[in-house]
Amino acid sequence: MNSHTVKAFDNDIGRLRGLISQMGGLAEEAIAKAMQALTRNDLELADQVRAEDKRIDALEAEVERLAVQIIALRAPMAVDLREVVAALKIAGLVERIGDYAKNIAKRLPMIDGEHRIEPISILPAMGRMASDMVRQVLDAFAARDAEAAVRVCESDSALDDFYDSIFRTLVTFMVENPKTISQVAHLLFVAKNLERVGDHATNVAEMVYFAATGTQMTDRDRGGPQE
Amino acid sequence: MPKNLKMTARNVSVSYGSKLAINDVSIDVDQDEVTAFIGPSGCGKSTFLRTLNRMNDTVASAKVTGDIKLDGHDIYAPDMDVVQLRARVGMVFQKPNPFPKSIYENVAYGPRIHGLAGAKSDLDRIVEKSLRRAGLWDEVKDRLTDSGTALSGGQQQRLCIARAIAVDPEVILMDEPCSALDPIATAKIEELIHELRGRYAIVIVTHNMQQAARVSQKTAFFHLGTLVEYGNTSDIFTNPHEERTKDYITGRYG
């Protein structure tokens, strides 16, 4: 993209994009750490995830402040306007992704680490899938790549399928081991959180697509049912 | 594209001597919409605006080709009465240019020479109606005999708009009507454009892109004498298609 005649405008947009990338990196890391804490029963790491969420929240506030400032002072138009609007929405979505990681970390003390329940072993793969989506959508954002954004949306159905299968597995496990119900219920929430991370990554992808193309992503774009 | 065409231009080119100022421009002006022309200095937007009521006739070296129609009639046809045309297609200029006469006379002059008012009472009525439509009546009704040039810049520009609408035009062309005005006077003119929309087809040339975005429904972007992009204002300012439009709108031009 050509640079603005007013250089400071480029700097503002660059800073805004940098903040989003920074938030995304932290959110992706938070998911990975939360899942690591879960599999290793590492309560200290879980505490760290909860503490670091504050940094994501602070960055979101910074994005909001800067976006409002750009709108007020630079009156962005066309692709610039779309970028600023998208940045505002993406910051909110990434902040929520961070919250899901924090929520996973918060559940750790309620899950007995001494007697490891077997279904924990299938959750890390789902965690990797969710954090991959977050990383891919942020790469798409950084590259302003609408096609990569579409691919992220397409991968969400695999995560949904994963969730459905984990749900059935966990319910079966609870039926067979009623004593573990309260713990496994927490695992169910962990899985649900990861599934929601995928939904939010999909929403981010839609904003990336909108910012890059100026149009809304349709079902046709993501290979869904044809009209 | 426009549903209710007031003016149509097809393959219009304008040259001043050997210099081509407008190259093959085709555009429609809708009766019920405000159409804005934007573009960098020298892009030809004012030149093109001036073809719409044959103001370029006054420039000896200017040559206009192509087809411009008002309600389907060729305005460059030999039988077209230019004075009548300019009454139907009025113009407001960049700098307010009231006659050095009273406020009343500024507005009454046009209707009088066009024979639109027989009796003094008719003329009074037209003057009041025009000043009201121009949003100036309340400010000047007690001093209609004062000189038009004694008004503030914003008031003078509204007086010029009142003068333009006094002859009951169908189209009003505005060439940078707010560039000499402060933000408050500018806002009043913009509000006025909003009020006048529907009653007159309005075409406005402006350097202020925000103004084009605020007042118009259609926007045309000119560059180097060509029409680069023309479409709904909301599309042009959120999702322009042409690379040159994108660069200009977002301040990346040049």
Separation between Cα atoms, residue A55 and residue A141, nearest integer Å: 21
In chain B, residues with a C-beta closer than 8 Å to the C-beta of A215 are: 239
Cβ proximity of A30 and A14 under 8 Å: no
Q: Does B251 touch chain A (CB under 8 A)?
A: yes
Chain mean pLDDT for chain B: 93
Per-residue confidence (pLDDT) for residue A114, from 0 to 100: 63
Q: How far is A94 from chain B (nearest CA, A)?
A: 25
Residue A113 is predicted with a pLDDT of: 65
Mean pLDDT of B154-178: 94
pLDDT of residue A6: 87
Q: How many residue contacts between A and B have a Cβ separation below 8 Å?
A: 41
Q: Is some CB atom of chain B closer than 8 A to the CB atom of A75?
A: yes
Alpha-carbon separation of residue A189 from A37, A41, B71 (angstroms): 16, 17, 68
* A174 pLDDT above the threshold of 70: yes
Of B250, B253, B254, the CB nearest to A78: B250
Q: Find chain A residues with C-beta within 8 A of B251's C-beta.
A: 4-6, 9, 77, 80
Token couple for B209: 């892109």
Residue in this structure with the two tokens 């790469």, named with its chain if needed: A139
CB nearest to B209's CB, from A9, A77, A214: A77
**If we measure between CA atoms, which residue out of B228, B146, B248, B46 comes closest to residue A4?**
B248
> How far apart are the two ends of chain A, measured CA to CA in Å?
34
Choose among A3, A9, A77: nearest Cβ to B237.
A77
Provide ipTM, 2 decimals: 0.73
Residue B137's identity, in one-letter code, is: W
Per CB-CB distance under 8 Å, the chain A contacts of B240 are 78
Strand order across the beta sheet in which B62-70 lies:
B19-30, B5-16, B62-70, B73-74
Q: Write down the mean pLDDT value for chain A.
A: 93
Structure tokens at B141: 């009704």
Res A116 pLDDT > 80: no
pLDDT digits (tens, 9 = 90+) for B176-187: 999 888 888 899
Output the pLDDT for position A140. 97
Other residues' Cβ atoms within 10 Å of the Cβ of residue B94: 16
Average pLDDT estimate for A144-160? 96
E strand or H helix at A65, and its extent? helix A43-74
The pTM is what? 0.82
Confidence class for position A111, pLDDT limits 50, 70, 90: confident
Q: B36: which residues sit within 8 A by CB, 6+ positions away?
A: B203, B204, B205, B206, B211, B212, B215, B216, B218, B219, B220, B233
Give pLDDT, residue A73. Answer: 92
Nearest chain B residue to A6 by CA distance is B251
Residue matched to tokens 């169908």: B170
| Structural tokens at position B184 | 């408050």
Quick: pLDDT tens for B45-74.
Answer: 999 999 999 998 888 899 999 999 999 999
| % of chain B beyond a pLDDT of 90 | 84
Residue of A133, A137, A165 whose CA lies nearest to A149: A137
Could you tell me which residues come within 8 angstroms of residue A4 by beta carbon, excluding any fewer than 6 positions away? A10, B250, B251, B252
Give the Cα separation of B197 and A29 in Å (integer): 56
Cα distance from A29 to chain B (closest Cα, Å)? 34
Name the H helices within chain B.
45-51, 82-88, 103-113, 120-133, 137-140, 153-166, 183-196, 209-215, 233-238, 243-249
Q: DSSP label at B97? A: -
**Rounded distance between C-alpha atoms, residue A19 and residue B151, angstroms:** 52
Give A221 or B202, the one with higher predicted confidence.
B202
pLDDT at residue number B60: 87
Res B118: pLDDT: 79
